[in-house]
C-alpha cells in the first residue's frame, strides 16, 4: 500500500466521524418548536409569504423554469427562498426545515449582512429587539441589525447580470422615510403592546410577523391617494387632470418582483352613460432581454427599458384630453387604480391577480364655452354670463401674449 493511500484512508476514516458531527451542528431548529412559547409569532408567520417562500406555486413554477434554463440557479434561488440551505446545502429540499421558506431560526440567528450574504449560525444566541430578555429555553442577544432596514436588504435588493432586479431597499434609502428613521419593520411588522412569550411580562412593543405587502388588499388600499384635480373645457374638448400620490409606501409602487404592475384605467361617458373615451396608463419596471423583448423571467434580463413607478410621497399628474359631443351637457369621468400580478403557475395557466385599490368618479356639468373651469355644482343664474366675460378676457390676454 502506498503512503498516499494510507493517508487517504486515514482522512476518510476521520471524515466519517467528523462529518456527521458537523452536520448535527448545522441542524437549525424547526419553526414549529417555537409555537409553545411564541404562539402569536408562529401563527402570524405561518400566514406570511415568508413561510411560503419555497412552496408557493408562483415561486415553484418560476423556479422550475429557471432550473430548465440553467441548473445552477438552484443554489442561487434557494439562497433567499430557503436561506437555511446556505448552511445545510440541502438543495434538494429533503429536510423539513428546508421547505419552511424564510423561517424563525434563520432570521433570529443572523448577526451580520453584507450585500446578499448573511452571517448566521445555529449556535448563535436568539437575536432580537430586547436587551433584557431572559429565558431558560435559549440564550438571547440584543441585535440592532434586526431592527433596521439593512437586515431586510440582503434579500429584498439584488441584481442579476448587473441589472438591478429588486431595488426596494435603495428606493427606501432615497426616500424621506429613511431620513425620518422609519424602517421596513415599522410598516411591515407593526408593533403593539403585549407579551413577547407566553406568560412573559407585558412589553410596550412586540412585533407582528405578517409582513403584509402586495398580497394583502387592505395594505394595498392604503397605498395611494387618487383624486381629480380639475376639469377644463375648451370648445368641444375637455381636459381632466388627475393626481396620484404615493401616500403611505416607503418605496416605489409597485416594488420588488418586476412582474407587478399598477394600471390606471380612465373612462369618460356622456350624459346618456355612453362611453366616449377610455385610456389605460401603466406604472411598472420593464425588464428586457438582449434583443429588447420584454421578459417576465428576471434572470433573462439584460437591461431595464422603462421604469415609471411612483416614488414615495411623489404626486404624479396625469392629463387626459378628449372630445365631448355637442349634444351632451354633462360628462362623467371615472378613474381606477388596479394592482396586477400576472404569473404563470405550475399548470402553465396564466394566473393573474387584479385588485382595485383606489377609485374616483365625478359628474360634471359642461358650460359648453371656451376655457372655463367646469363645475360639478349646480349653475347659479348669472354665472354663465360672468363666466363668458371671464373667458373673453382670458382669450384676449392669451392673444395679446402670443402677438
Min. distance of Cβ 251 from ligand HEC in angstroms?
5
> Which of the stretches 2-10, 90-98, 210-218, 237-245 binds ligand HEC when contact is defined by CB under 6 A?
210-218
Which of 189, 231 has the CB closer to ligand HEC?
189
Min. distance of Cβ 66 from ligand HEC in angstroms?
4
Task: Quote the cell numbers at residue 233.
Answer: 373645457
| Residue 213 binds ligand HEC, judged by CB under 6 A | yes
Contacts of ligand HEC in 287-306 (CB under 6 A): 299
Contacts of ligand HEC in 16-45 (CB under 6 A): 29, 31, 33-34, 36-38, 41-42, 45
Min. distance of Cβ 126 from ligand HEC in angstroms?
4
| Residue 66 binds ligand HEC, judged by CB under 6 A | yes
The DSSP-derived string for 80-122 is HHSTTHHHH--TT--SGGGGG-S-HHHHTTEEEEETTEEEE-T
Min. distance of Cβ 351 from ligand HEC in angstroms?
10
The four Cα atoms 205, 209, 215, 218 give a dihedral, to 10 degrees, of -30
Cα–Cα distance for residue pair 138/129, rounded to 1 Å: 15
- The SS3 assignment for 77 reads helix
Min. distance of Cβ 171 from ligand HEC in angstroms?
8
Instruction: Please say whether the beta carbons of 15 and 23 come within 8 A.
Output: no
Single out the residue of 102, 209, 85 nearest to residue 156, CA to CA. 102
| Residue 120 binds ligand HEC, judged by CB under 6 A | no
Instruction: Please say whether the beta carbons of 16 and 23 come within 8 A.
Output: no
| Size of interface with ligand HEC, in residues (CB under 6 A) | 91
Which of 199, 403 has the CB closer to ligand HEC?
199
304-310 long-range Cβ contacts below 8 angstroms, 24+ apart: 304/163, 304/164, 308/282, 308/283, 308/284, 309/252, 309/253, 309/254, 309/255, 309/262, 309/283, 309/284, 309/285, 310/224, 310/244, 310/246, 310/252, 310/253, 310/262, 310/283
Single out the residue of 30, 192, 193, 186 nearest to residue 108, CA to CA. 30
Cα–Cα distance for residue pair 323/237, rounded to 1 Å: 4
- The SS3 assignment for 186 reads helix
Contacts of ligand HEC in 315-344 (CB under 6 A): none
> Which of the stretches 19-27, 209-217, 322-330, 389-397 binds ligand HEC when contact is defined by CB under 6 A?
209-217
Cα–Cα distance for residue pair 232/374, rounded to 1 Å: 6
Contacts of ligand HEC in 248-277 (CB under 6 A): 248-251, 253-257, 260
Contacts of ligand HEC in 139-198 (CB under 6 A): 140-142, 146-147, 149, 151-152, 154-156, 158, 168-169, 172, 177, 182, 184-185, 187-189, 196-197
Min. distance of Cβ 242 from ligand HEC in angstroms?
19
Which residues sit opposite 344 in a β-bridge?
350
| Residue 245 binds ligand HEC, judged by CB under 6 A | no
Which of 78, 366 has the CB closer to ligand HEC?
78
Which of 4, 134 has the CB closer to ligand HEC?
134
The length of the chain is 403
> Which of the stretches 134-142, 236-244, 358-366, 386-394 binds ligand HEC when contact is defined by CB under 6 A?
134-142
Min. distance of Cβ 163 from ligand HEC in angstroms?
13
Which of 214, 331 has the CB closer to ligand HEC?
214
Interaction mask 220-239, ligand HEC, x per CB under 6 A: x-xx----------------
**DSSP 8-state code for residue 145:** G
Cα–Cα distance for residue pair 207/143, rounded to 1 Å: 14
> Which of the stretches 9-17, 123-131, 281-289, 369-377 binds ligand HEC when contact is defined by CB under 6 A?
123-131
Single out the residue of 215, 28, 194 nearest to residue 103, CA to CA. 28
Amino acid at each position: 500500500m502506498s503512503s498516499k493511500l494510507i493517508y487517504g484512508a486515514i482522512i476518510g476514516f476521520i471524515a466519517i466521524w467528523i462529518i456527521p458531527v458537523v452536520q448535527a451542528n448545522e441542524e437549525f431548529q424547526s419553526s414549529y418548536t417555537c409555537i409553545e412559547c411564541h404562539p402569536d409569532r408562529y401563527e402570524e408567520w405561518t400566514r406570511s409569504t415568508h413561510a411560503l417562500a419555497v412552496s408557493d406555486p408562483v415561486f415553484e413554477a418560476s423556479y422550475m423554469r429557471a432550473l430548465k434554463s440553467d441548473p445552477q440557479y438552484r443554489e442561487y434561488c434557494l439562497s433567499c427562498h430557503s436561506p437555511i440551505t446556505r448552511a445545510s446545502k440541502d438543495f434538494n429540499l429533503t429536510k423539513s426545515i428546508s421547505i419552511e421558506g424564510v423561517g424563525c431560526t434563520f432570521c433570529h440567528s443572523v448577526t451580520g449582512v453584507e450585500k446578499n450574504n448573511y452571517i448566521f449560525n445555529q449556535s448563535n444566541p436568539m437575536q432580537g429587539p430586547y436587551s433584557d430578555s431572559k429565558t431558560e429555553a435559549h440564550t438571547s442577544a440584543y441585535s440592532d441589525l434586526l431592527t433596521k432596514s439593512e437586515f431586510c436588504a440582503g434579500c429584498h435588493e439584488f441584481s442579476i447580470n448587473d441589472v438591478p432586479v429588486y431595488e426596494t431597499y435603495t428606493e427606501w434609502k432615497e426616500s424621506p422615510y429613511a431620513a425620518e428613521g422609519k424602517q421596513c419593520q415599522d410598516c411591515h411588522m407593526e408593533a403593539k403592546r403585549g407579551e413577547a412569550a407566553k406568560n412573559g411580562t407585558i412589553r410596550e412593543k412586540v412585533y407582528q410577523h405578517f409582513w403584509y405587502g402586495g398580497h394583502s388588499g387592505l395594505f394595498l388600499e392604503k397605498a395611494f391617494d387618487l383624486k381629480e384635480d380639475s376639469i377644463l373645457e375648451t370648445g368641444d374638448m375637455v381636459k381632466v387632470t388627475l393626481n396620484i400620490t404615493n401616500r403611505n409606501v416607503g418605496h416605489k409602487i409597485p416594488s420588488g418582483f418586476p412582474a407587478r404592475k399598477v394600471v390606471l384605467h380612465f373612462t369618460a361617458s356622456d350624459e346618456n352613460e355612453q362611453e366616449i373615451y377610455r385610456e389605460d396608463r401603466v406604472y411598472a419596471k420593464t425588464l428586457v432581454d438582449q434583443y429588447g423583448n420584454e421578459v417576465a423571467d428576471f434572470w433573462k434580463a439584460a437591461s431595464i427599458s422603462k421604469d415609471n413607478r411612483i416614488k414615495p410621497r411623489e404626486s404624479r399628474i396625469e392629463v387626459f384630453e378628449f372630445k365631448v359631443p355637442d349634444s351632451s351637457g354633462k360628462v362623467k369621468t371615472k378613474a381606477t387604480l388596479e394592482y396586477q400580478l400576472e404569473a404563470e403557475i405550475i399548470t402553465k395557466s396564466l394566473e393573474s391577480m387584479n385588485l382595485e385599490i383606489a377609485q374616483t368618479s365625478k359628474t360634471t356639468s359642461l358650460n359648453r364655452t371656451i376655457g372655463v373651469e367646469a363645475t360639478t355644482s349646480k349653475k347659479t343664474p348669472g354665472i354663465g354670463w360672468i363666466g363668458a366675460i371671464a373667458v373673453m378676457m382670458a382669450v384676449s390676454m392669451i392673444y395679446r401674449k402670443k402677438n
